[in-house]
């Protein structure tokens, strides 16, 4: 069975590429904190895992690539404005 991944493609490992990827995760309602293991993310409404095993592997790959290329702090910095917007906090430009 060939199923299409819900995980957005990482187009590049620049800061802007990471920002775009986190934004696409938010638009798909799949955003989670990059310091959390995607295997541990649970849907509150159902109590089930949010990501399949294949998606967990894909997410770990993407996060490892971003961490490797940008460094941990820059990866978190790229996720920050997306999280703030998701929580309703608009950041000053």
Domain residues for the domain of 81 are 15-86
6 assigned to some structural domain: no
Tokens representing 56 are 């967990």
47 assigned to some structural domain: yes
pLDDT tens-digit map of 71-86:
999 999 999 999 888 8
pLDDT tens-digit map of 36-59:
999 999 999 999 999 999 999 999
Q: How far apart are CA 72 and CA 75, in angstroms?
A: 5
3-class state of residue 42 by DSSP: strand
pTM of the model: 0.88
24 assigned to some structural domain: yes
Q: What is the CA radius of gyration of the chain?
A: 13
Q: Please, is 63 exposed, middle or buried when counting C-beta atoms within 10 Å of its C-beta (0-12, 13-18, 19+)?
A: buried
29 assigned to some structural domain: yes
| Total tally of structural domains belonging to the chain | 1
The predicted structure's pLDDT at residue 85? 86
Q: Which residue has the higher pLDDT, 83 or 66?
A: 66
Q: Which residue has the higher pLDDT, 88 or 16?
A: 16
């Amino acid at each position: 069975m060939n199923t299409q991944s819900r995980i957005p493609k990482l187009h590049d490992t620049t800061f802007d590429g990471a920002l775009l990827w986190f934004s696409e995760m938010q638009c798909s309602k799949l955003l989670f904190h990059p310091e959390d293991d995607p295997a541990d993310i649970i849907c509150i409404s159902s109590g089930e895992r949010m990501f399949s095993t294949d998606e967990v592997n894909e997410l770990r790959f993407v996060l490892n690539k971003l961490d490797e290329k940008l460094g941990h702090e820059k990866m978190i910095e790229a996720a920050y404005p997306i999280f703030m917007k998701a929580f309703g906090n608009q950041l000053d430009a």
